[in-house]
Amino acid sequence: MNGKSGWQRSANNTNTSIEPVPVAITTSIPARGAASNPANRFEQIHLERDADWNPEEEPLPTTQFLRDHSRTILNRNDSPDIGFEFSLNPYRGCEHGCIYCYARPTHEYLGFSAGLDFETRIMVKMEAPQLLREALSSPKWQPQTIAMSGVTDCYQPVERRLKLTRGCLEVLAEFRNPIGIVTKNQLITRDLDLLSELARHNAVVVFVSLTTLDADLRKVMEPRTSPPSARLATIRKLAEAGVPVGVMVAPVIPGLTDHEIPNILAAAVEVGARFAGHVVLRLPYAVAPLFEQWLATHFPDKKEKFLNRLRSMRGGKLYNAQFGKRMTGEGIFAEQIEQMFNVACRRAGIAANHLQLSTAAFRRPGGRQLGLF
């Protein structure tokens, strides 16, 4: 397709796997993280941007919301370096448009691109609350902590209108099943009533993801997320409401944001954060060329420095998917980040803070209370 869409269809007629489209675009699209749609590694046909398309003159890519007809809502995880077994995601794809998002390649399983498609083609699970109720009502369900936003942010902008995350929280509060949430969006404060109710039963913890305190960097790196000041205000409101809240410094981008770790932790603890975690930048599959493209646009003079720093932590590559190393990296720079984080936690007084959520209050409404112990 040509014209105002700015995209044309291209086909690969070979039987070999598609390689990522070479990075040559050095322009950005306002309010979007990605500037292109790299080839889907599973598809023979992909879209390429017209060479004469000017995103500042033509209409921007609009967001489409597509119904996801999944018949189950809880995803089971068996990765040994993840601290939960079940996750819940009302949405697939994310409007936030964070350029570094490790979840981008999951969109390729749907036939989309990990680039602009990931942030403009959002799959919506309209029946998420009903499916969750069915799952928790089943006698096969063993009460345990569910992670929300394990893939994409459950409080992305469309949640303000659809309220699917709130619907799921209503079910979780009714069953008193523990939940852990990670978000970049201040919208979570809308649901303080439900979060406070879960907190009464030691059944909730929230981590507010805070990558940088630099508002200008946030605008181009995480274009549709809440500003840093709003995220700090979110931590304060959650803490004041009695909801256990921590800060997730993720991803830590070597050479770009790692120096901010002490200031991020200090600022978060000052407003009420009780816990902290961090993850080093991950660039699986198409995320690597997208991130390279983004660096070429916004930090052309420092691009190679950032990439070389990352390669030094990933065995000479931009990404190493090995369990136990994919979250932290290895080598001297990885050790420095780990030490900086640990020292900053000690100085902030939260180094030894841990929260163990409880299933003791779990119940199935209308049925008998489970004996858990």
**What is residue 28's predicted lDDT score, i.e. its pLDDT?**
72
Query: Lowest-confidence range among 45-59, 71-85, 157-171?
Result: 45-59
At residue 29 the predicted structure's pLDDT band, cuts being 50, 70 and 90, is: confident
Cβ neighbours for 165, distance < 8 A, ≥ 6 positions apart: 90, 148, 154, 155, 159, 191
Q: Which of the 8 DSSP states describes residue 72?
A: -
Cβ neighbours for 305, distance < 8 A, ≥ 6 positions apart: 255
Paired with 121 in beta bridges are: 64
Domain 65-348 has CATH 3.80.30.30: yes
Query: Lowest-confidence range among 71-80, 255-264, 342-351?
Result: 71-80
Does the pLDDT at position 51 exceed 70?
Answer: no
- Span 155-179, pLDDT tens digits: 999 999 999 999 999 999 999 999 9
Contact 47, 34 (CB under 8 A): no
**What is residue 268's predicted lDDT score, i.e. its pLDDT?**
98
Cis peptide before 251 (omega within 30 of 0): yes
Does the pLDDT at position 8 exceed 60?
Answer: no
- Span 270-295, pLDDT tens digits: 999 999 999 999 999 999 999 999 99
CA–CA distances in Å: residue 71 to residues 130, 275, 338: 10, 35, 41
